[in-house]
Amino acid sequence: MTAPTHDRGDGAVASAETPVLQAVRMRKHFPVRGFRSKKVVHAVDDVDLELYRGRVVALVGESGSGKSTIARLLAQLMHVTDGQILLHGEDATTKSRAGFRRYVSKVQMIFQDPFASLNPVHTVRYTLTRSVKIHRGRLRGDELEKALDELLDRVNLRPTARYIDKFPHELSGGQRQRVAIARALAANPEVLLADEPISMLDVSIRLGILNLLRDLRDRLQIAILYITHDIASARYFADRTMVMYAGRVVESGDSESVTQDPKHPYTQLLVRSAPDPDDLDARARGARGEAPSLVTPPDGCRFNPRCPFATEMCRVELPPLFDVGVGRKAACWGYSERPGRPRLGSVLDAYGQRPPIDVNVVVRADADLAAAADAAATGTPGQEDLR
Ligand SMILES: Nc1ncnc2c1ncn2[C@@H]1O[C@H](COP(=O)(O)OP(=O)(O)O)[C@@H](O)[C@H]1O
Ligand code: SF4
Ligand SMILES: [Mg+2]
């Protein structure tokens, strides 16, 4: 396994190698339907992210923080509003169907919902054969059978004959997710974007799927983006962890440090609320404080309406990512040298005093998941925003 090798000096750990996949100042603003004015949802703003061979980066945050949008942007299922996606250091923006298919053969996505991401009318054989043929050419007969057998074997669906002719409804959630992973592996990808791959599965089988992904990381040296609600699983599984809040990265670093010694007040709250950040309110001693509207995000630090340490500076100016340790960053004015900076303390002691803020609910018109999953697996575009 090739690991990052040195501190770049600006707090970020640089690697001797180029990241397999990289996002630079990536941004996604969705137009809000039904508004005459040009209102947008600030789903993702200025996100930098690097994925290395044989390493896992976890992206953690509560619902609506922009995690899935990042995965879909990296899968190029939708266009970035701004910023760049680089594959092996080169601009990877796909401009044609053939380019999209080539990209998809290197960057595969696993969706949260294994019940919706496999087409219910097709057997495992059909689903895997389609991907094998698209990504590896026209295999036939024994060669094709061998490829299908290897795929099921790699995701531990054994004996493979028991699964190959099953329909999705004949499989458990964990088995379906394994088929979805096998479909992704049919492309021999260099990157897996796993969007909450275990959150809809029974707790008892989650670890099995994480261990499978870990095995793929180690044996196939795949770079993995692991999106999760659960910061505890990030510690278990990921080499690095990035914490999102309201569309922005607020903290990053090696997973052990971020989870054991969180620096950003939001991460501190998140660690305390694990495993379910959507349960923040209940756990933070009855404190309220909803996620902010992404149509009109708060000025300054987006966490300021919920943060007990916020000062005037926080309400006006957006904090950049400050160095807070080797390879660690946190976007909080508390780590600046500026006069009038906030004095950080125990976020949990103070949290109960914050008033709630209004949530502006944005109704989301999601694309059909099975179509999105098919496009992400095969590079065959389907519908709007999937080009
Ligand atoms: N296709 C879309 N159109 C409009 N808004 C969207 C769309 N997809 C996501 N959003 C909005 O972007 C924000 C981030 O969503 P998402 O990336 O799904 O967050 P997460 O995966 O962290 O729960 C949310 O406010 C969501 O409603
Ligand atoms: S102290 Fe200020 S900058 Fe830091 S998290 Fe709180 S509101 Fe944001
Ligand atoms: Mg999501």
Q: Which residues contact 119 (CB under 8 A, 6 or more apart)?
A: 127, 168, 370, 374
Q: What is the pTM of this model?
A: 0.88
CA of 247 to the centre of ligand 1 (A): 9
pLDDT at 129 over 70: yes
Q: Per-residue DSSP letters for 32-88? A: PTT-SS--EEEEEEEEEEEE-TT-EEEEE--TTSSHHHHHHHHTTSS--SEEEEEET
Which residue's C-alpha comes closest to atom 26 of ligand 1? 64
Q: What is the pLDDT of residue 373?
A: 83
3-state SS class at 185: helix
pLDDT per position as a tens digit, 27-64: 999 998 775 667 899 999 999 999 999 999 999 998 89
CA of 62 to the centre of ligand 3 (A): 9
Between the alpha carbon of residue 230 and those of residues 61, 196, 267, 330, the distances in Å are: 8, 9, 12, 19
Ligand nearest to the CA of 72: 1
The full set of domains in the chain, from first to last, is 19-387 (3.40.50.300)
Q: What is the pLDDT of residue 290?
A: 57
Phi, psi angles (nearest 5°) of residue 284: -85, 55
pLDDT per position as a tens digit, 230-239: 888 999 999 9
At residue 7 the predicted structure's pLDDT band, cuts being 50, 70 and 90, is: very low
pLDDT at 363 over 60: no
User: Does the beta carbon of 228 lie inside 6 Å of ligand 1?
Assistant: no
Ligand nearest to the CA of 59: 1
- Mean of all residue pLDDT scores within the chain: 86
User: Does the beta carbon of 289 lie inside 6 Å of ligand 1?
Assistant: no
User: Does the beta carbon of 301 lie inside 6 Å of ligand 2?
Assistant: yes
Between the alpha carbon of residue 169 and those of residues 122, 127, 175, 273, 340, the distances in Å are: 10, 14, 10, 34, 59
Among 362, 383, 386, name the best residue to mutate to test ligand 1's pocket (greatest count of ligand atoms within 8 A of Cβ): 362
CA of 10 to the centre of ligand 3 (A): 30
Kindly state the tokens that stand for 85.
Answer: 């996606």
User: What is the rounded distance in angstroms from the CA atom of residue 304 to the CA atom of residue 307?
Assistant: 5
User: Does the beta carbon of 308 lie inside 6 Å of ligand 2?
Assistant: no
Q: What is the pLDDT of residue 261?
A: 94
pLDDT at 259 over 60: yes
Q: Which of 244-248, 268-272, 371-375 has the highest mean predicted lDDT (pLDDT)?
A: 244-248
User: Does the beta carbon of 382 lie inside 6 Å of ligand 2?
Assistant: no
At residue 285 the predicted structure's pLDDT band, cuts being 50, 70 and 90, is: very low
pLDDT at 177 over 50: yes
CB 289 within 8 A of CB 357: yes
